[in-house]
Amino acid sequence: MITLIKGFHDILPDQSSKWAFIISKARNCLERFGFREIITPIMEKTELFQRGIGQATDIVEKEMYTFTDISGDSLSLRPEATAGILRSVVEHSLLRHEPVLKLFSIGPMFRRERPSKGRFRQFFQINAEVLGDNSPLTDAETILAATSIVHAIGAKDCSVEINSVGCRDCRNTYKHELRKFLKPSLDHLCPDCQRRFETNPLRILDCKESACIAVCKNAPLIGEWLDADCRDHFGQVKKALESIGVNFRVEPRLVRGLDYYSRTAFELVHSELGRSKAVGGGGRYDSLIGELGGPDISGIGFGIGIERLAMNLEDQGHSFQKEIDVFMAIIGEKARASCFELANQLRKNGLSVDARYSDMSLKAQMKLADRLEAQWVVMVGENELAQGQATIRNMKTKEQFLVTLDEIEQRVRGEKS
């Protein structure tokens, strides 16, 4: 038997309806905020992610699925969505026609990291980006859009944590101070963080190794090194969030794992998953578009993991199975051809219908109809056919009626309306 690649997973039929529910709610929420969908390839030139994400990140250094194709080009499966979306925006000059763009995408990402609960090597994300608007109000509205998705699907116990990681100048000053603090304890850090010390010391603050957590316990906070403009921007973001009723908590040690973030950073955190397993997150990026060859304008975006959202709905009593209007229960071999025609005529007229044309007892068919959450069961046997009739059963009220074959659609539609 050939089995799955480690870290990948199948979305089975009993889960796919939940995923469809999440995606539908997310799409509706984002469209309500004025976002439009963009669909980009799952594979890009490796250089895009090296430039966009940063070569000193764990993603680029250790986690990308990268290979050389037959032409000698280095290609990578996308580990995140923003770089590919911005590549498309720049390549097709979309900002030339619209100075402010609001885009979203939904699809798979790939990272070769250690699999764990809710963390896969192929994972699906909802991503949204606002390009060309650097207002603190846009930051707050983007955070609201992210939380609206979580609330729309009925996920509970999610909270918002926010921080400011400052501009490039702020961060350079802070990195210098952070290295000064960490240097005496360098030998106590994990091997990854010892490497990060020179390349990306902010990531040490986000390490989950107990030794690194202990070292960073009293580390200086980036908020202490923000310049006046960054402090003012963050203050306006917090004020705007309060004005629209978004509950949040300032997490002064929150940093994001991608080099391009600046100023506002945020995460959606589930109480049972912990900060190391946020449902989603994002932040502002004020220089990334320019670094990828586009105009020198700012952006802000977020990504939400569909697997994480699905886990959050696991035990909350939702039924995601899409109801079908009619299950056709066929009694006897001679009724099959007529029921086949009847089922497909009802489908042609817009009703959802399911049926089984192999031998099944009526009891087994009724159990199947119940499991499929059919609203009606149409029972047709040889005797009924001879008289042009069928017995229909309302699966919610358990009432049964004898009707002519021509009356089935009217009866079902009457109950639906």
Question: Per residue in 156-214, pLDDT tens?
Answer: 777 899 999 888 888 888 888 889 888 888 888 888 888 888 878 888 887 778 888 88
Strands 74-77 and 248-250, sheet pairing: unpaired
Mean pLDDT of the chain: 86
Cα dihedral 131/65/265/9 (nearest 10):
100
151: its two tokens: 């609330």
Residues 243-252, buried b or exposed e (16+ Cβ, 10 A)? eeebebeebe
Cβ proximity of 281 and 178 under 8 Å: no
Q: Give one DSSP letter per residue of 29-51, joined into a string.
A: HHHHTT-EE----SEEEHHHHHH
Q: How far apart are CA 23 and CA 21, in angstroms?
A: 6
Helix (H) / strand (E) containing 235: helix 228-243
Fold match flag (13-167+227-312 vs 326-412): no
Architecture of domain 326-412: 3-Layer(aba) Sandwich (3.40)
Q: Is the pLDDT of residue 417 over 50?
A: no
- CA angle, 413 as apex, 407 and 416 as ends, to 5°? 145
Q: For domain 13-167+227-312, say whether CATH 3.40.190.10 is its number.
A: no
Question: Per residue in 286-327, pLDDT tens?
Answer: 888 888 888 888 999 999 999 888 877 765 555 566 778 999
Question: Per residue in 69-109, pLDDT tens?
Answer: 999 999 999 999 999 999 999 999 999 888 899 999 999 99
Q: How far apart are CA 291 and CA 86, in angstroms?
A: 10
Q: Which residues, 6 or more positions from 287, have their beta carbon under 8 angstroms from its beta carbon?
A: 168, 260, 262, 296
pLDDT value, residue 91: 93
Cβ proximity of 136 and 229 under 8 Å: no
Strands 43-45 and 74-77, sheet pairing: antiparallel
Other CB atoms within 10 Å distance of the CB of residue 187: 6
Question: Per residue in 136-160, pLDDT tens?
Answer: 999 999 999 999 998 888 877 778 9
Domain range annotation of the chain: 13-167+227-312, 326-412
Confidence of residue 225 (pLDDT cuts 50, 70, 90): confident
